């Protein structure tokens, strides 16, 4: 079969090819096939007939369904073609046509846009769940939802958000921008990149299907032995999270391979945009930590399906094994969430202060340092779990130490602001809010890292406020800043500035009103994931719930802005609306298919603001330079 | 179709998908067993009649153990949300049709929180039973109430296979009285690991409203 | 540029540092004296008081950090705002080694102090941080009067806390402790992970199946406290709640006698006391 499409086929013809629709059809068929196999396997197992729950059937259904989905999208076409002797090709469906956004497309920019829509869709669903959670918490003992359904809601919110925020920056922005920023025309592994995207909606749908399987009670952390004991919906969580783990591994691999091997001539390590350094550090964490997640989910699935006892103490296993495996992934995971935010805000600060990133090498050292040290701190999630008491001072030390490189981003930001020429555009507002929120998040982390204080706060709403400040107040704010900044480049249209400011202020104020009081709620004795709490805490909870509804409203404003600006108003963007120096701003908006007509030569860093007669970063139309690879 | 039209179409389709998912989630959240009133015998007194069965026999999980409650008209309802008056004496009759599973913690083998600290097991006043004998318990921890329910012997004749069960089938009758206080929502649960096929016997019906968990709505 | 104590720095930076010193000088004592005594978890027991003190120290350490950023950022955001429509570049400042060294030294010192302080807080013999230390609590963290401690085994099960007093031979669903005596909690679980959080006593120890998690506290005041479960354990996780009480020694003895009498029917059926239990079989039929 042809793997290089030179001309788009008619739209009706495209609908019957290997695409998203075919994927769904084959995915559903695959689910039933896998389920039937599992029913046959489990037919004679007493535990399954007594419990009306055949986990083997459910898990096989999901796995065969996902394989069917990927087959329908066309991911097996190229490997099969190569086995049958076709010539290698790194391009599929890159030329024209709207259908390329609904199928396997090797153009990294298409993958970026796909990620943008896909991640935001599931992010909004996670946010809707949060609105329902806060509604339940309006009353201390009265309940809107039954407690088992409430726990599923909590688990869905947490898991969906962790899955989507892991992909939130590297997905849309990393995929779209990385090759452009290093002067390349593609990613190192274009098909794997597309695969990493399509696993995300697959995982999202699998996770949501937990609702039809009685939900799951374990929250996003999936602690054994509760997860081994749980009803069928637990399998949905385990499979979905494992799929995201695979996607993260692929993304990390791709980002690292591309940056290491495909930089344009002259793009030395010290001329790399700081965003690229953030992507590399995050990619390193994804590549090394995400496989542990996949393994952990697989072990729990084995306990649930084939009756192993990795995590059952009374059969020789240990729940500590689960806690350690999960958090060995889980702690690097939170730096996967934090580091891209650092990269974005430093980029934005440089442009809107019109100064170089102050302490560029220090910030690189900080990000790489955080990535490396993050593998040595995970036991701080187990401080009161009954681990050997000798371990606690060591992990307290490492956890305190990691705050040193984490703090570099503040020094870089402060230095960049010094004597700057600050313009308060919408992206800049989000970048500045990042510093405010991440400061609060970071300082509350200091409380958690101290063992005696952690005895007060572990498992309480204090921890919840801490990680919402760092993940939502940090990463999500940075994401919005990056989106408003790069949207003109990615789509050719600008987002409405007035709606952007309304969204920003509504979000910033309601976010802080929502999560700051939760530090007090935690200190005063409200554990996490409860639907009932001491009556004295109702005032705080009601204030928080009302504020949370306003966060929801700010997200609606954002959605309106995106739809209105992109589909209705369509105000064309100039090539360089922010007057920034990055390579991407030397290209047309949106960026054309192969990025550059020929591989550019890089002659300056993107941070040469204030240097008289600084050349642009890249020479785009110089003498022909041979491209790396094809 | 122009790009604007295509984007608008995608936006509409995405929003529609989102709304559908939202409805799906809300439908799940709002699904709850019906609230069944106790029978009001006289002012300050109420009566509840319950049965526990080995397999409910219908619905999404036909093999799950379950409680059922009798409504004031005498029909058996598959629910565990019971409404009783505040500051009253509540007389409870439980027809226990299930075989014994045994307690995980023998602490629950004693009757606690009832009037006089006793229950009437098949008419005989009893303070405690052997830890291996209960098929289920009826416990309201916030009221300090815990009553172990004697299991039917494994070799008993004429065992009930599916709900609703009738008193002509093998069963034990447990009767007790407890006092309600201030109004509120009091959760109740079973403390016997009676969920066959689940780890520790505590999964499935033990963690699902309408089967082995419920609310006592005191009003 | 001005020269302060031999260091040359821009005048503006000097003003910022002065403002910072003033705010810190006011904030630190304010937090220590005004906020500290009211910080959770209170002073009902020695472990709670330890944590309150620790939280106070941390809050005090946070003040200068937050103050510096809260002064520096707004100052820059106002002072260096670009007005006008032309795009003007700022000076190409790429870094300053002395500032970086000062920052790294300062943050490292603070952080290392906190790590050392936290470690020291875990050790003193009479106190304990109240956290679960696992089956082998550190010898130097075990209180000196551990031999005379009241042993209370906290059993977490889905979904209620029960408390076994091995020295008196009964298990109850109430938690009553005598004032002024060291309590040695042995926290374990019969099924999944729970977490025993006696809020006002400042004790938190995970209940892990097959494991014995030891925590110490010594209640100082008579009163009531809340026990909540702090690790998600299933449907009634939020409802796993005990109202505990600290009473005088004589009240405690009469409570013990009353519990022994009323719980006699069940006490005979309890399994022998053990650090953890594996109730069998793994799955129950029914």
Backbone torsions φ then ψ of A447, nearest 5 degrees: -60, -45
pLDDT surpassing 70 at residue B162: yes
CATH assignment at residue B98: 2.60.40.420
* pLDDT score at A1: 41
pLDDT tens digits for range A447-506: 999 999 999 999 999 999 999 999 999 999 999 999 999 999 999 999 999 999 999 999
Regarding whether A120 and A63 lie in a shared domain, the answer is no
Q: Is A146 on the interface with B (CB under 8 A)?
A: yes
Q: Is C197 on the interface with A (CB under 8 A)?
A: yes
Nearest CB to C286: which of B98, B109, B208? Answer: B98
pLDDT tens digits for range A94-108: 876 788 899 999 999
The residue among A68, A88, A105 that closes a domain is: A105
Regarding whether B107 and B6 lie in a shared domain, the answer is no
* pLDDT score at C281: 59
pLDDT surpassing 90 at residue A442: yes
The interface predicted TM-score (ipTM) is: 0.94
Helix (H/G/I), strand (E/B), else coil: C138: coil
Regarding whether A228 and A194 lie in a shared domain, the answer is yes
* pLDDT score at A390: 84
* pLDDT score at C142: 65
pLDDT surpassing 50 at residue B117: yes
B185 min Cα distance to partner chain A (Å): 7
Ordered per-residue pLDDT tens for chain C, 286 residues: 888 777 888 899 999 999 999 999 999 999 999 999 999 898 999 889 988 999 999 999 999 999 999 999 999 999 999 988 888 899 999 999 999 999 999 999 999 999 998 888 887 655 557 788 888 877 656 666 777 889 999 999 999 999 999 999 999 999 999 999 999 999 999 999 999 999 999 999 999 999 999 998 999 999 999 999 999 999 999 999 999 999 999 999 999 999 999 999 888 889 999 998 887 655 443 3
| Radius of gyration in angstroms for the set of CA atoms belonging to chain B, rounded to a whole number | 21
Q: What is the mean pLDDT of chain A?
A: 93
Cis peptide before A225 (omega within 30 of 0): yes
Q: What percent of chain A has pLDDT over 70?
A: 97
Mean pLDDT of A522-527: 94
Q: Verify whether the Cβ–Cβ distance A225 to B199 is below 8 Å.
A: yes
> Which of C154, C242, C284 has the most B C-beta neighbours within 10 Å, making it the best mutation to test the interface with B?
C284
Regarding whether B187 and B137 lie in a shared domain, the answer is yes
Please tell me which residue of chain A has the smallest CA distance to B199: A229
Instruction: Give CA–CA dist B137/A240, Å, rounded.
Output: 37
Helix (H/G/I), strand (E/B), else coil: B179: strand
pLDDT surpassing 60 at residue A8: no
Nearest CB to A563: which of B11, B199, B207? Answer: B11
Model confidence at B69, pLDDT cuts 50, 70, 90, reads very high
Contacts with C171 from chain B: Cβ below 8 Å: 105, 107
Model confidence at A629, pLDDT cuts 50, 70, 90, reads very low
C207 min Cα distance to partner chain B (Å): 15
Q: Verify whether the Cβ–Cβ distance C76 to A611 is below 8 Å.
A: no
pLDDT tens digits for range B42-65: 889 999 999 999 999 998 899 999
Q: Verify whether the Cβ–Cβ distance B104 to C162 is below 8 Å.
A: no
Q: Which residues contact A441 (CB under 8 A, 6 or more apart)?
A: A466, A467, A468, A469, A470, A473, A474
User: What six digits make up the tokens of A56?
Assistant: 């083997």
Q: Is C275 on the interface with A (CB under 8 A)?
A: no
Q: Is C43 on the interface with A (CB under 8 A)?
A: no
Nearest CB to B105: which of C159, C162, C282? Answer: C162
> Which of A148, A210, A567 has the most B C-beta neighbours within 10 Å, making it the best mutation to test the interface with B?
A567
**DSSP label at residue C81:** B
Q: Which residues contact C102 (CB under 8 A, 6 or more apart)?
A: none
Please tell me which residue of chain C has the smallest CA distance to A406: C107
Predicted TM-score (pTM) above 0.90: yes
Model confidence at B101, pLDDT cuts 50, 70, 90, reads confident
Mean pLDDT of B114-122: 95
Q: Which contacts (CB < 8 Å, 24+ apart) does range A435-438 have?
A: A435/A345, A435/A410, A435/C69, A435/C73, A436/A473, A436/C73, A437/A469, A437/A470, A437/A472, A437/A473, A437/A474, A437/A477, A437/A511, A437/A512, A438/A338, A438/A341, A438/A409, A438/A469, A438/A470, A438/A473, A438/A474
CB B65 within 8 A of CB B98: yes
Angle between helix axes A426-449 and A391-417 (nearest 10 degrees) is 160
Give the chains touching A; criterion: ≥3 Cβ pairs < 8 Å.
B, C
> Which of A55, A141, A144, A146 has the most B C-beta neighbours within 10 Å, making it the best mutation to test the interface with B?
A146
Contacts with B139 from chain C: Cβ below 8 Å: 160
Regarding whether B181 and B130 lie in a shared domain, the answer is yes
Regarding whether A221 and A115 lie in a shared domain, the answer is yes
Give the chains touching B; criterion: ≥3 Cβ pairs < 8 Å.
A, C
Regarding whether B44 and B24 lie in a shared domain, the answer is no
Q: In terms of DSSP H, where are the helices of A209-232? A: 226-229
- Ranking B22-26, B161-165, C223-227 by mean pLDDT, the lowest is B161-165
Q: Verify whether the Cβ–Cβ distance C192 to A423 is below 8 Å.
A: no
Q: Is C233 on the interface with A (CB under 8 A)?
A: yes
Q: Which residues contact A592 (CB under 8 A, 6 or more apart)?
A: none
pLDDT surpassing 70 at residue A73: yes
Q: Which domain holds residue A371?
A: 106-619
Contacts with A532 from chain C: Cβ below 8 Å: 238-239
Regarding whether B166 and B85 lie in a shared domain, the answer is yes
Handedness of CA B125, B128, B132, B136 (dihedral sign): positive
Instruction: Give CA–CA dist A131/A125, Å, rounded.
Output: 10
Please tell me which residue of chain C has the smallest CA distance to A521: C40
Q: Verify whether the Cβ–Cβ distance A121 to B17 is below 8 Å.
A: yes
* pLDDT score at C124: 61
**Domain presence at residue A556:** yes
* pLDDT score at C257: 96
Regarding whether B179 and B74 lie in a shared domain, the answer is yes
Q: Could you tell me which of A553, A531, A152, A227 has the C-alpha nearest to residue B24?
A: A152
Instruction: Give CA–CA dist A226/A165, Å, rounded.
Output: 25
**Domain presence at residue A559:** yes
Q: Which domain holds residue B8?
A: 1-31
Nearest CB to B141: which of C160, C282, C283? Answer: C160
* pLDDT score at C127: 55
Helix (H/G/I), strand (E/B), else coil: C116: helix
Regarding whether A512 and A442 lie in a shared domain, the answer is yes
Q: Is C283 on the interface with B (CB under 8 A)?
A: yes
**DSSP label at residue A157:** H
Regarding whether B132 and B95 lie in a shared domain, the answer is yes
pLDDT tens digits for range A330-387: 999 999 999 999 999 999 999 999 999 999 999 999 999 999 999 999 999 999 999 9
What are the CA-CA distances from residue A290 to residues A174, A301, A370, C146 (Å)? 18, 17, 17, 44
The residue among A105, A132, A149 that closes a domain is: A105
pLDDT surpassing 90 at residue A388: no
Regarding whether B197 and B120 lie in a shared domain, the answer is yes
Q: Verify whether the Cβ–Cβ distance C111 to A432 is below 8 Å.
A: no
Contacts with B11 from chain A: Cβ below 8 Å: 563, 566-567
Regarding whether B7 and B86 lie in a shared domain, the answer is no
Q: Is A297 on the interface with B (CB under 8 A)?
A: no
Q: Is C21 on the interface with A (CB under 8 A)?
A: no
* pLDDT score at A622: 64
> Which of B5, B31, B101, B199 has the most A C-beta neighbours within 10 Å, making it the best mutation to test the interface with A?
B199
How many structural domains comprise chain B?
2
CB C163 within 8 A of CB C174: yes
Regarding whether B95 and B5 lie in a shared domain, the answer is no
Mean pLDDT of A252-278: 96
How many other CB atoms are there within 10 angstroms of residue B53's CB atom?
27
Regarding whether A159 and A43 lie in a shared domain, the answer is no
* pLDDT score at A7: 55
pLDDT surpassing 90 at residue A538: yes
CATH assignment at residue A112: 1.20.210.10
Helix (H/G/I), strand (E/B), else coil: A505: helix
Regarding whether B23 and B103 lie in a shared domain, the answer is no
Nearest CB to B105: which of C155, C192, C235? Answer: C155
Contacts with C81 from chain A: Cβ below 8 Å: 422, 424
Contacts with A449 from chain C: Cβ below 8 Å: 114, 118
Angle between helix axes C97-121 and C46-79 (nearest 10 degrees) is 160
Contacts with B202 from chain C: Cβ below 8 Å: 158, 191-192, 234
Contacts with B108 from chain C: Cβ below 8 Å: 266
Q: Verify whether the Cβ–Cβ distance A151 to C90 is below 8 Å.
A: no
Chain C residues 159-178 with CB within 8 Å of chain B: 159-160, 162, 171-173
CB A324 within 8 A of CB A380: no
Instruction: Give CA–CA dist A53/B26, Å, rounded.
Output: 24
Regarding whether A133 and A99 lie in a shared domain, the answer is no
The residue among A53, A81, A105 that closes a domain is: A105
User: What six digits make up the tokens of A28?
Assistant: 């559903």
How many structural domains comprise chain A?
2
Regarding whether B198 and B106 lie in a shared domain, the answer is yes
Regarding whether A268 and A160 lie in a shared domain, the answer is yes
Residue at token pair 């006043």? B125
Chain A residues 556-595 with CB within 8 Å of chain B: 563, 566-568, 570
Q: Verify whether the Cβ–Cβ distance B209 to A147 is below 8 Å.
A: yes
Please tell me which residue of chain C has the smallest CA distance to B198: C283
């Amino acid at each position: 079969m042809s793997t290089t499409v030179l001309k788009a086929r008619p739209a009706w013809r495209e609908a019957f090819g290997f695409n998203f629709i075919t994927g769904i059809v084959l995915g559903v068929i695959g689910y039933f096939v896998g389920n039937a196999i599992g029913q046959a396997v489990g037919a004679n197992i007493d535990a399954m007939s007594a419990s009306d729950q055949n986990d083997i059937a459910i898990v096989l259904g999901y796995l065969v369904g996902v394989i069917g989905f990927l087959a329908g999208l066309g991911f097996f076409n190229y490997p099969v073609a190569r086995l049958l002797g076709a010539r290698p090709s790194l391009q599929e469906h890159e030329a024209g046509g709207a259908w390329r956004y609904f199928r396997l497309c090797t153009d990294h920019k298409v993958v970026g846009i796909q990620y943008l829509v896909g991640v935001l869709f599931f992010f909004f669903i996670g946010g809707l769940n949060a609105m329902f959670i806060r509604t339940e918490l309006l009353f201390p003992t009265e309940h809107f939802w039954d407690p088992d359904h409430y726990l599923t809601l909590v688990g869905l919110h947490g898991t969906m958000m962790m899955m989507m925020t892991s992909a939130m920056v590297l997905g849309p922005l990393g995929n779209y921008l990385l090759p452009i920023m290093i002067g390349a025309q593609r990613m190192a592994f274009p098909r794997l990149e597309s695969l990493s995207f399509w696993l995300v909606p697959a995982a999202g749908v699998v996770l949501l299907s937990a609702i039809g399987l009685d939900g799951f009670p374990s929250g996003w952390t999936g602690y054994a032995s509760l997860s081994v004991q749980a009803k069928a919906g637990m399998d949905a969580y385990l499979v979905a999270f494992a799929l995201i783990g695979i996607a993260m591994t692929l993304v990390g691999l791709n980002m690292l391979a591309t940056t290491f091997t495909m930089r344009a001539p002259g793009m030395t390590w010290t001329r790399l945009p700081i965003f690229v350094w953030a992507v590399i550090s995050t990619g390193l964490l994804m590549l090394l930590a995400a496989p542990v997640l996949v393994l952990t989910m697989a072990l729990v699935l084995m306990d649930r399906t084939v009756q192993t006892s990795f995590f059952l103490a009374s059969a020789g296993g240990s729940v500590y094994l689960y806690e350690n495996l999960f958090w060995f992934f889980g702690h690097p995971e939170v730096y996967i969430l934090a580091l891209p935010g650092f990269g974005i805000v430093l980029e934005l600060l440089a442009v809107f202060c019109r100064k170089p990133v102050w302490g560029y090498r220090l910030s690189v050292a900080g990000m790489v340092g955080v990535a490396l040290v993050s593998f040595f701190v995970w036991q701080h999630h187990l401080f009161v779990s009954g681990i050997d008491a000798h371990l606690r001072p060591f992990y307290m030390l490492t956890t305190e130490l990691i705050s040193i490189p984490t703090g570099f981003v503040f020094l870089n930001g402060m230095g960049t602001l010094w004597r700057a020429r600050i313009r308060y555009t919408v992206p800049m507002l989000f970048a500045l809010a990042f510093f405010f929120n991440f400061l609060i998040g970071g300082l509350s982390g200091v409380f958690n890292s101290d063992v005696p204080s952690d005895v007060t706060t572990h498992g309480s709403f204090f921890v919840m406020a801490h990680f919402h400040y760092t993940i939502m107040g940090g990463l999500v704010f940075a994401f919005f800043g990056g989106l408003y900044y790069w949207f003109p480049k990615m789509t050719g249209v600008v987002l409405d500035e007035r709606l952007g400011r309304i969204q920003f202020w509504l979000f910033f104020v309601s976010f802080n009103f929502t999560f700051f009081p939760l530090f007090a709620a935690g200190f005063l004795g409200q554990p996490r994931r409860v639907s009932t709490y001491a009556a004295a805490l109702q005032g705080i909870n009601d204030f928080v719930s009302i504020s949370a509804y306003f966060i929801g409203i700010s997200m609606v404003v954002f959605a309106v802005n995106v739809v209105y600006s992109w589909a209705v108003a369509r105000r064309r963007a100039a090539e360089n609306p922010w007057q920034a120096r990055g390579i991407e701003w030397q290209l047309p908006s949106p960026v054309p298919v192969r990025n550059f007509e020929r591989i550019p030569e890089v002659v300056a860093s993107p941070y040469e603001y204030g240097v008289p007669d600084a050349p642009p970063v890249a020479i785009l139309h110089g003498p022909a330079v041979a491209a790396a690879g094809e | 179709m122009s790009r604007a039209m295509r984007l608008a179409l995608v936006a509409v389709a995405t929003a529609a998908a989102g709304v559908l998912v939202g409805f799906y989630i809300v439908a799940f959240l709002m699904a709850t067993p019906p609230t069944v009133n106790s029978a009001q015998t006289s002012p300050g007194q109420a009566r509840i009649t319950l049965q526990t069965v080995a397999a409910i026999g219908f619905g999404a999980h036909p093999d799950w153990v379950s409680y059922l409650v009798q409504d004031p008209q005498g029909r058996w309802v598959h629910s565990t949300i019971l409404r009783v008056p505040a500051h009253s004496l509540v007389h409870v009759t439980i027809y226990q049709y299930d075989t014994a599973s045994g307690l995980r913690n023998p602490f629950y083998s004693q009757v606690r929180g009832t009037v006089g600290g006793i229950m009437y097991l098949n008419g005989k006043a009893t303070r405690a039973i052997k830890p291996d004998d209960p098929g289920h318990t009826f416990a309201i921890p916030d009221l300090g109430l815990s009553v172990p329910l004697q299991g039917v012997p494994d070799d008993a004749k004429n065992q009930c296979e599916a709900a609703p069960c009738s008193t002509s089938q093998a069963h034990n009758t447990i009767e007790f009285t407890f006092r309600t206080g201030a109004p509120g929502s009091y959760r109740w649960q079973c403390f016997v690991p009676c969920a066959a096929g689940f780890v520790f016997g505590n999964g499935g019906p033990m963690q699902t409203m309408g089967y082995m968990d419920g609310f006592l709505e005191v009003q | 540029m001005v020269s302060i104590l031999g260091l040359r720095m821009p005048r503006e930076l000097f003003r910022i540092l002065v403002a910072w010193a003033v705010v810190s000088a006011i904030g630190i004592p304010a937090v220590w004296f005004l906020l500290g005594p009211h910080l959770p978890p209170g002073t009902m027991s020695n472990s709670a008081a330890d944590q309150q003190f620790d939280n106070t120290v941390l809050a005090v350490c946070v003040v200068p950090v937050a103050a510096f950023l809260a002064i520096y950022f707004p100052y820059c955001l106002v002072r260096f705002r670009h007005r006008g429509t032309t795009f003007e570049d700022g000076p190409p400042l790429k870094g300053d080694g002395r500032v970086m060294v000062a920052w790294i030294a300062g943050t490292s010192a603070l952080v290392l102090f906190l790590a050392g302080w936290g470690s020291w807080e875990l050790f003193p013999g009479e106190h304990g941080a109240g956290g679960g230390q696992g089956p082998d609590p550190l010898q130097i963290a075990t209180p000196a009067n551990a031999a005379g401690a009241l042993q209370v085994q906290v059993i977490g099960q889905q979904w209620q806390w029960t408390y076994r007093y091995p020295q008196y031979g009964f298990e109850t669903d109430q938690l009553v402790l005598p004032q002024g005596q060291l309590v040695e909690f042995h926290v374990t679980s019969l099924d999944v992970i729970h977490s025993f959080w006696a809020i006002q006593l400042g004790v938190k120890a995970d209940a892990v199946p097959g494991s014995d998690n030891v925590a110490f506290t010594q209640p100082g005041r008579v009163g009531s406290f809340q026990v909540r479960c702090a690790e998600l354990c299933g449907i009634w996780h939020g409802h796993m709640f005990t109202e505990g009480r600290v009473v005088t020694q004589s009240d405690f003895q009469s409570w013990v006698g009353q519990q022994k009498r009323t719980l006699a029917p069940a006490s005979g059926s309890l399994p022998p006391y053990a650090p953890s239990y594996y109730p069998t079989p793994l799955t129950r039929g029914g």
